[in-house]
Amino acid sequence: MRRRQFLTAASLSAAAGFACTSPALALSLETAPATVADHLRVPAPAVKGALDWDRLAAAGESLFRDGTISRFPTALRRLDGQQVVLAGFMMPFREAKTHQEFMLGAMQFHCATCMLGDLRRIVAVKAARPVAYDERPLAIRGTLRLLEDEASPLYYRLDAATAA
């Protein structure tokens, strides 16, 4: 039996260093479609020039020749501090029309129990100015930061982000 792991909006926001006043408002109730598997696996569309989520999913423990251990292979370490575009779905921490801090994921979020379990496909976003909430996929441009700290369950943060 496989053990499933998921994080709530509150624990993700705390891990990313965000203040979340009402995590319950970040969740929505919707009627599930006939095929639950389709409901859970709605991927963000490919956007020309955007960083591929599969590339970010290459993160994991890497052992280097000098004996150091990192969460990121060399190819991903080169992206740290670089301007990138990511296309994904917004998950805000509270109910509002615009947000400066939110999560961006490769798959559509609906609720805490059907969130994507792969944290390599979720990015914390700190926007330069508020971004309008949208349930549809959006493209965000910002500075990618690799979160090497083992205390954080997240792998990535996008700083000074703007709508692309």
Letter for the amino acid at 87? A
- According to the model, what pLDDT value does residue 25 have? 45
Query: Based on the number of CB atoms within 10 Å of its own CB, is 134 exposed (0-12), middle (13-18) or buried (19 or more)?
Result: exposed
Look up residue 87 and give its DSSP letter.
E
Q: Which CATH number fits domain 9-26+42-163: 3.40.50, 1.10.3470, 1.20.1050, 2.40.50?
A: 2.40.50
How many residues does the structure list for the chain?
Answer: 164
Letter for the amino acid at 162? T
pLDDT digits (tens, 9 = 90+) for 72-83: 888 899 999 999
pTM above 0.75, yes or no: no
pLDDT digits (tens, 9 = 90+) for 21-65: 444 444 444 554 555 444 556 778 888 999 999 999 999 877 777
The mean pLDDT of the chain is 78
- According to the model, what pLDDT value does residue 42 have? 77
Residue-range domain boundaries for the chain: 9-26+42-163
Measure the CA–CA gap between 48 and 28, rounded to whole angstroms. Answer: 30
Letter for the amino acid at 74? T
